Amino acid sequence: MRVLVVDVGMGTSDILLHDDSRRGENQTHLVVPSATRVVAAEIRAATRRGLPVVLRGRLMGGGPSSSAMDAHRAEGLAFYAEPDAARTFSDDLSEVASMGVVLVGEDEAESLAAGGAVVVRSGDVRVDDLMRALALLGETEPLDGLGVAVQDHGEAPAGVSDRVFRFEKLVESLESSRRLTDLFYVLGSIPAHFTRLQAAGRCMVEGLGGSPALGLGDTVPVVVGDTVPVVVGDTGPAALLGAALFRGAPCVVINYGNGHTLMAVVRDGEIDGLFEHHTGRLDRTSMANYATEFLAGRLESAQVLADGGHGVLPVSAAVEPGSLDVLVTGPNRARFAGVTEREVETSIHGSMMITGCYGLLEGFRARMS
């Protein structure tokens, strides 16, 4: 089996082309700038040239691209966007318009492009470009599957914090099943509120020329004519699952991502307790306190929300300090090294950055079994 999985973060997109016939250390994998950083660079290039921008494509992650849009507008330059792409900046299109972004339809976007506006392609994965890059590396054999993970806050109802909404929906999913693999979805089975997951799935389909209609079991035609299923999931569960694969025994897993930090107790592939916060709002002292209180079962969501985080799903029973290995992963792990006991840095087949890819791969296999 050959499966291509893409774990899209705020800083990097981590890519694994896993071939069951190869040893782990010989798997093809890449760590490249995330799509939002690529889009931001393209917007900044247009800003330097003093040209208008028209954003076309799918909803994607914001962050750097949103900041680049703000800087472009601050220079007095026009910024246009098709509605789906505009939702990158906010689910509320009236709010996007208030930022100075002009919403346009497909025909007007094409007219603007013909008139000299710089077209920037929105979407969390540019699959066609990725396939061309892999082909240049000699990876031209047929694929048996595709997977993509993105961090989805969900489309929150008016007046509801997206931080609260995201965590509530994660908890709802865990109330149905605590198994991490059950947090991954085949196209067509993605909950409606996870709009970014749906958009990422559409990018996978459209990027390789497949139908944009997403029915259960949709497949993507690859250039050689084969078809492959597509599975999507959130980057949080992907990182937790990937790190847990490093140890078969019960463990604590902490993923120090560029945007978010997640912590959970994992036993036999099931989550017992979950903590999520913004990495940039944490320091060593606060993280050590959060870890202690979380594992003792004393941490409450209200405390995390008040500090700018997402929330807590309490552990079912207190975890004795030092009783479990603490598996740490993520690009910000060095900032927090040593804040917990029995820390073990995860490095699957010698590469820490593809931990989430292996979690996504496991999710793919579970959906296909």
In order of 25, 203, 266, 293, the CA distances from 129 in angstroms are 25, 12, 36, 45
CATH 1.10.150 fits 247-345, yes or no: no
CA-derived radius of gyration, the chain: 21
315 pLDDT above the threshold of 60: yes
- CATH number for the segment(s) 39-122: 3.40.50.1100
Nearest 5°: the CA angle 115, 120, 124 is 160
Where are the domain boundaries for CATH 3.30.420 in the chain? 247-345
Model-wide pTM > 0.85: yes
Q: What is the pLDDT of residue 313?
A: 94
Neighbouring CB atoms inside 10 A of 212's CB total 9
pLDDT digits (tens, 9 = 90+) for 183-218: 999 988 899 889 999 999 988 887 766 544 333 344
How confident is the model over 322-334, as a mean pLDDT?
Answer: 94
Binning pLDDT at 50, 70 and 90, where does residue 355 land? very high
Question: Rounded to an integer, what distance in angstroms lies between the CA atom of residue 89 and that of residue 200?
Answer: 16
Q: What is the pLDDT of residue 155?
A: 84
pLDDT digits (tens, 9 = 90+) for 57-95: 999 999 999 999 999 999 999 999 999 999 999 999 999
| Phi and psi torsions of 75, nearest 5° | -85, 0
pLDDT digits (tens, 9 = 90+) for 253-280: 999 998 899 999 999 889 999 999 999 9
Percent of the chain with pLDDT over 70: 95
226 pLDDT above the threshold of 60: no
pLDDT digits (tens, 9 = 90+) for 329-347: 999 999 999 999 999 998 8
Q: How many CA atoms lie within 13 A of 208 on its CB side?
A: 27
Question: Rounded to an integer, what distance in angstroms lies between the CA atom of residue 198 and that of residue 331?
Answer: 26
In order of 164, 175, 310, the CA distances from 169 in angstroms are 9, 10, 11
Binning pLDDT at 50, 70 and 90, where does residue 227 land? low
What residue has token string 């906010």?
90
Question: Rounded to an integer, what distance in angstroms lies between the CA atom of residue 231 and that of residue 216?
Answer: 11
What is the overall mean pLDDT for the chain? 91
Binning pLDDT at 50, 70 and 90, where does residue 143 land? confident
Where are the domain boundaries for CATH 3.40.50.1100 in the chain? 39-122
Please name the residue ranges forming H helices in the chain: 35-49, 64-74, 83-86, 93-98, 106-114, 127-136, 162-176, 195-207, 235-244, 284-296, 301-306, 355-368
- Asked if residues 11 and 34 have their Cβ atoms less than 8 Å apart, the reply is yes
Neighbouring CB atoms inside 10 A of 222's CB total 20
248 pLDDT above the threshold of 80: no
145 pLDDT above the threshold of 60: yes
Percent of the chain with pLDDT over 90: 73
pLDDT digits (tens, 9 = 90+) for 19-47: 999 998 999 999 999 999 999 999 999 99
164 pLDDT above the threshold of 90: no
